[in-house]
Structure 1
Protein backbone atom coordinates (compact mmCIF):
# COMPACT_ATOMS: atom_id res chain seq x y z
CA UNK A 1 0.00 0.00 0.00
CA UNK A 2 2.80 2.43 0.86
CA UNK A 3 4.49 1.61 -2.44
CA UNK A 4 1.25 2.32 -4.33
CA UNK A 5 0.77 5.67 -2.58
CA UNK A 6 4.40 6.62 -3.22
CA UNK A 7 4.04 5.62 -6.88
CA UNK A 8 0.89 7.70 -7.32
CA UNK A 9 2.46 10.74 -5.67
CA UNK A 10 5.59 10.35 -7.81
CA UNK A 11 3.50 10.03 -10.98
CA UNK A 12 1.47 13.12 -10.07
CA UNK A 13 4.57 15.21 -9.35
CA UNK A 14 6.31 13.98 -12.51
CA UNK A 15 3.31 14.76 -14.71
CA UNK A 16 2.99 18.23 -13.18
CA UNK A 17 6.69 18.84 -13.74
CA UNK A 18 6.33 17.80 -17.38
CA UNK A 19 3.57 20.36 -18.00
CA UNK A 20 4.86 23.09 -20.27
CA UNK A 21 4.15 26.79 -19.82
CA UNK A 22 3.17 28.49 -23.06
CA UNK A 23 3.12 32.28 -23.41
CA UNK A 24 1.06 33.74 -26.24
CA UNK A 25 2.19 37.26 -27.13
CA UNK A 26 -0.30 38.64 -29.63
CA UNK A 27 -0.67 41.79 -31.68
CA UNK A 28 -4.01 42.66 -33.22
CA UNK A 29 -5.15 45.02 -35.95
CA UNK A 30 -7.94 46.85 -34.13
CA UNK A 31 -10.19 49.20 -36.12
CA UNK A 32 -11.16 52.42 -34.33
CA UNK A 33 -14.76 51.19 -34.02
CA UNK A 34 -13.58 48.08 -32.14
CA UNK A 35 -11.52 49.74 -29.37
CA UNK A 36 -12.86 47.45 -26.62
CA UNK A 37 -10.49 44.83 -28.06
CA UNK A 38 -6.83 45.33 -27.07
CA UNK A 39 -4.16 45.87 -29.72
CA UNK A 40 -1.79 43.63 -27.78
CA UNK A 41 -2.30 40.83 -25.28
CA UNK A 42 -0.26 38.26 -23.37
CA UNK A 43 -1.66 34.93 -22.19
CA UNK A 44 0.26 32.51 -19.96
CA UNK A 45 -1.09 28.96 -19.97
CA UNK A 46 0.28 25.74 -18.54
CA UNK A 47 -0.55 22.90 -20.93
CA UNK A 48 -3.34 20.76 -19.50
CA UNK A 49 -4.52 23.46 -17.10
CA UNK A 50 -8.12 24.66 -17.19
CA UNK A 51 -7.09 28.26 -16.46
CA UNK A 52 -4.63 30.85 -17.75
CA UNK A 53 -3.41 34.33 -16.84
CA UNK A 54 -4.20 37.08 -19.32
CA UNK A 55 -3.02 40.69 -19.44
CA UNK A 56 -3.51 43.62 -21.80
CA UNK A 57 -3.85 47.42 -21.54
CA UNK A 58 -7.63 47.22 -21.01
CA UNK A 59 -7.24 44.73 -18.15
CA UNK A 60 -4.52 46.88 -16.57
CA UNK A 61 -6.72 49.99 -16.80
CA UNK A 62 -9.81 48.40 -15.22
CA UNK A 63 -8.44 45.68 -12.92
CA UNK A 64 -4.94 47.00 -12.17
CA UNK A 65 -3.67 43.38 -12.32
CA UNK A 66 -3.80 40.41 -14.74
CA UNK A 67 -7.08 38.51 -15.11
CA UNK A 68 -7.74 34.80 -14.78
CA UNK A 69 -9.08 33.17 -17.93
CA UNK A 70 -10.76 29.80 -18.41
CA UNK A 71 -9.86 27.40 -21.20
CA UNK A 72 -13.12 27.05 -23.13
CA UNK A 73 -11.70 24.75 -25.83
CA UNK A 74 -8.38 23.03 -26.53
CA UNK A 75 -8.14 20.76 -29.54
CA UNK A 76 -5.69 20.21 -32.43
CA UNK A 77 -7.11 23.23 -34.31
CA UNK A 78 -7.37 25.91 -31.62
CA UNK A 79 -7.25 26.90 -27.99
CA UNK A 80 -9.87 29.34 -26.72
CA UNK A 81 -9.68 31.41 -23.54
CA UNK A 82 -12.54 33.34 -21.91
CA UNK A 83 -12.49 35.99 -19.19
CA UNK A 84 -14.52 38.94 -18.04
CA UNK A 85 -14.12 42.44 -16.70
CA UNK A 86 -16.68 43.49 -14.06
CA UNK A 87 -18.29 46.93 -13.89
CA UNK A 88 -16.83 48.64 -16.93
CA UNK A 89 -17.59 52.33 -17.51
CA UNK A 90 -16.92 54.04 -20.85
CA UNK A 91 -15.84 57.65 -21.40
CA UNK A 92 -19.50 58.73 -21.73
CA UNK A 93 -20.19 57.39 -18.23
CA UNK A 94 -22.23 54.39 -19.37
CA UNK A 95 -21.65 51.34 -17.19
CA UNK A 96 -22.05 47.69 -18.07
CA UNK A 97 -22.07 45.03 -15.35
CA UNK A 98 -19.60 42.79 -17.22
CA UNK A 99 -17.57 42.73 -20.40
CA UNK A 100 -17.09 39.20 -21.74
CA UNK A 101 -13.89 38.42 -23.65
CA UNK A 102 -13.02 35.44 -25.84
CA UNK A 103 -9.65 34.81 -27.51
CA UNK A 104 -9.09 31.94 -29.94
CA UNK A 105 -5.57 31.03 -31.06
CA UNK A 106 -5.43 28.92 -34.23
CA UNK A 107 -2.54 26.52 -33.84
CA UNK A 108 -1.77 25.83 -37.51
CA UNK A 109 -1.70 29.47 -38.64
CA UNK A 110 -0.61 31.36 -35.50
CA UNK A 111 -3.57 33.72 -35.92
CA UNK A 112 -5.74 35.00 -33.10
CA UNK A 113 -9.30 36.26 -32.95
CA UNK A 114 -10.60 38.23 -29.96
CA UNK A 115 -14.16 39.30 -29.28
CA UNK A 116 -15.48 41.57 -26.53
CA UNK A 117 -19.18 41.65 -25.66
CA UNK A 118 -20.83 43.91 -23.08
CA UNK A 119 -23.21 41.66 -21.12
CA UNK A 120 -26.82 42.60 -21.75
CA UNK A 121 -26.13 44.56 -24.94
CA UNK A 122 -26.24 43.49 -28.61
CA UNK A 123 -22.84 45.05 -29.37
CA UNK A 124 -19.91 42.83 -30.26
CA UNK A 125 -16.35 44.06 -30.81
CA UNK A 126 -13.85 41.96 -32.79
CA UNK A 127 -10.25 42.09 -33.97
CA UNK A 128 -7.75 39.71 -35.54
CA UNK A 129 -4.00 39.34 -35.40
CA UNK A 130 -1.10 36.97 -34.87
CA UNK A 131 0.69 35.50 -31.87
CA UNK A 132 4.23 34.44 -31.12
CA UNK A 133 4.67 31.59 -28.68
CA UNK A 134 7.25 31.58 -25.96
Structure 2
Protein backbone atom coordinates (compact mmCIF):
# COMPACT_ATOMS: atom_id res chain seq x y z
CA UNK A 1 0.00 0.00 0.00
CA UNK A 2 1.22 3.47 -0.76
CA UNK A 3 1.97 5.98 1.96
CA UNK A 4 -1.00 7.56 3.73
CA UNK A 5 -3.52 5.34 1.91
CA UNK A 6 -6.81 4.37 3.55
CA UNK A 7 -8.30 0.87 3.35
CA UNK A 8 -11.70 1.09 5.02
CA UNK A 9 -14.98 -0.81 5.13
CA UNK A 10 -13.99 -3.74 2.90
CA UNK A 11 -14.68 -7.45 3.15
CA UNK A 12 -11.79 -9.76 2.27
CA UNK A 13 -12.53 -13.50 2.06
CA UNK A 14 -9.72 -16.01 1.44
CA UNK A 15 -7.51 -13.03 0.62
CA UNK A 16 -3.81 -12.98 -0.02
CA UNK A 17 -1.55 -10.89 2.14
CA UNK A 18 -0.78 -7.26 1.61
CA UNK A 19 2.03 -5.22 3.03
CA UNK A 20 1.60 -1.73 4.40
CA UNK A 21 3.65 0.78 6.31
CA UNK A 22 2.59 2.58 9.50
CA UNK A 23 1.17 5.56 7.58
CA UNK A 24 -1.59 3.44 5.99
CA UNK A 25 -4.97 3.41 7.72
CA UNK A 26 -6.50 -0.08 7.71
CA UNK A 27 -9.85 0.44 9.45
CA UNK A 28 -13.18 -1.32 9.82
CA UNK A 29 -12.36 -4.13 7.40
CA UNK A 30 -13.55 -7.71 7.67
CA UNK A 31 -10.92 -10.37 6.95
CA UNK A 32 -12.19 -13.97 6.78
CA UNK A 33 -9.86 -16.95 6.30
CA UNK A 34 -6.83 -14.93 5.26
CA UNK A 35 -4.53 -17.16 3.22
CA UNK A 36 -1.45 -15.22 4.30
CA UNK A 37 -0.97 -12.65 7.06
CA UNK A 38 -0.90 -8.90 6.68
CA UNK A 39 2.65 -7.58 6.86
CA UNK A 40 3.41 -4.33 8.62
CA UNK A 41 6.66 -3.18 7.06
CA UNK A 42 9.44 -0.66 7.65
CA UNK A 43 9.13 3.12 7.46
CA UNK A 44 8.31 3.83 11.09
CA UNK A 45 8.40 7.53 12.02
CA UNK A 46 12.02 8.53 12.52
CA UNK A 47 11.19 11.06 15.23
CA UNK A 48 10.10 8.40 17.73
CA UNK A 49 6.39 9.23 17.41
CA UNK A 50 3.88 6.40 17.41
CA UNK A 51 2.79 5.15 13.98
CA UNK A 52 -0.46 6.74 12.82
CA UNK A 53 -1.95 4.04 10.60
CA UNK A 54 -1.93 0.88 12.68
CA UNK A 55 -4.99 -1.31 11.89
CA UNK A 56 -8.01 -0.24 13.89
CA UNK A 57 -11.48 -1.75 14.46
CA UNK A 58 -10.98 -4.60 11.95
CA UNK A 59 -12.34 -8.12 12.33
CA UNK A 60 -9.89 -10.97 11.74
CA UNK A 61 -11.92 -14.20 11.54
CA UNK A 62 -10.70 -17.71 10.88
CA UNK A 63 -13.17 -20.52 10.29
CA UNK A 64 -12.64 -24.29 10.49
CA UNK A 65 -12.16 -24.47 6.72
CA UNK A 66 -9.54 -21.71 6.62
CA UNK A 67 -6.83 -22.28 3.98
CA UNK A 68 -4.42 -20.49 6.32
CA UNK A 69 -2.74 -23.51 7.90
CA UNK A 70 -0.52 -21.51 10.24
CA UNK A 71 -3.41 -19.19 11.18
CA UNK A 72 -1.21 -16.09 11.18
CA UNK A 73 -3.01 -12.75 10.82
CA UNK A 74 -0.23 -10.15 11.18
CA UNK A 75 3.55 -10.04 10.96
CA UNK A 76 5.38 -6.99 12.24
CA UNK A 77 8.50 -6.43 10.20
CA UNK A 78 10.49 -3.43 11.30
CA UNK A 79 13.86 -1.98 10.56
CA UNK A 80 16.95 -4.11 10.87
CA UNK A 81 18.09 -2.04 13.86
CA UNK A 82 16.64 -3.82 16.88
CA UNK A 83 17.19 -0.72 19.04
CA UNK A 84 14.32 0.99 17.20
CA UNK A 85 11.64 -1.55 18.04
CA UNK A 86 8.09 -0.33 18.60
CA UNK A 87 5.09 -1.47 20.58
CA UNK A 88 2.12 -1.49 18.21
CA UNK A 89 -1.42 -1.15 19.58
CA UNK A 90 -3.81 -3.64 17.96
CA UNK A 91 -6.07 -3.79 21.01
CA UNK A 92 -9.17 -2.51 19.25
CA UNK A 93 -9.33 -5.23 16.56
CA UNK A 94 -11.79 -8.12 16.89
CA UNK A 95 -10.26 -11.59 16.56
CA UNK A 96 -13.41 -13.71 16.51
CA UNK A 97 -12.19 -15.34 19.72
CA UNK A 98 -11.27 -13.92 23.10
CA UNK A 99 -8.68 -16.47 24.24
CA UNK A 100 -5.40 -14.58 24.63
CA UNK A 101 -3.23 -17.58 23.73
CA UNK A 102 -5.14 -18.11 20.48
CA UNK A 103 -4.91 -14.42 19.59
CA UNK A 104 -1.19 -14.29 20.41
CA UNK A 105 -0.60 -17.32 18.17
CA UNK A 106 -2.00 -15.32 15.22
CA UNK A 107 0.76 -12.71 15.41
CA UNK A 108 4.41 -12.93 14.57
CA UNK A 109 6.52 -10.41 16.45
CA UNK A 110 9.54 -10.30 18.73
CA UNK A 111 7.77 -12.35 21.39
CA UNK A 112 7.86 -15.31 18.97
CA UNK A 113 11.27 -15.05 17.35
CA UNK A 114 14.76 -13.65 17.63
CA UNK A 115 14.68 -12.63 13.95
CA UNK A 116 16.02 -9.03 13.79
CA UNK A 117 13.32 -8.11 11.25
CA UNK A 118 10.60 -8.98 13.76
CA UNK A 119 11.68 -6.99 16.78
CA UNK A 120 8.44 -5.04 17.26
CA UNK A 121 5.79 -6.12 19.75
CA UNK A 122 2.10 -6.30 18.87
CA UNK A 123 -0.18 -5.39 21.79
CA UNK A 124 -3.69 -6.81 21.52
CA UNK A 125 -5.12 -7.05 25.04
CA UNK A 126 -7.78 -6.63 26.07
CA UNK A 127 -9.49 -7.92 22.92
CA UNK A 128 -12.97 -6.56 22.19
CA UNK A 129 -15.80 -9.02 22.80
CA UNK A 130 -17.57 -8.16 19.54
CA UNK A 131 -16.84 -6.50 16.20
CA UNK A 132 -16.97 -2.75 15.79
CA UNK A 133 -20.44 -1.74 14.50
CA UNK A 134 -18.89 0.10 11.53
CA UNK A 135 -17.08 -3.04 10.33
CA UNK A 136 -18.92 -5.16 7.71
CA UNK A 137 -20.96 -8.03 9.16
CA UNK A 138 -19.70 -11.59 8.84
CA UNK A 139 -21.60 -13.22 5.92
CA UNK A 140 -20.43 -16.60 7.25
CA UNK A 141 -21.70 -15.99 10.80
CA UNK A 142 -23.25 -19.49 10.93
CA UNK A 143 -19.72 -20.97 10.77
CA UNK A 144 -17.92 -20.67 14.11
CA UNK A 145 -14.70 -18.71 14.48
CA UNK A 146 -11.78 -20.80 15.69
Q: TM-score, normalised by structure 1?
A: 0.27
The structure with the largest alpha-carbon Rg is 1
Structure having the larger proportion of residues in helix: 1
Q: TM-score, normalised by structure 2?
A: 0.25
Structure having the larger proportion of residues in strand: 1
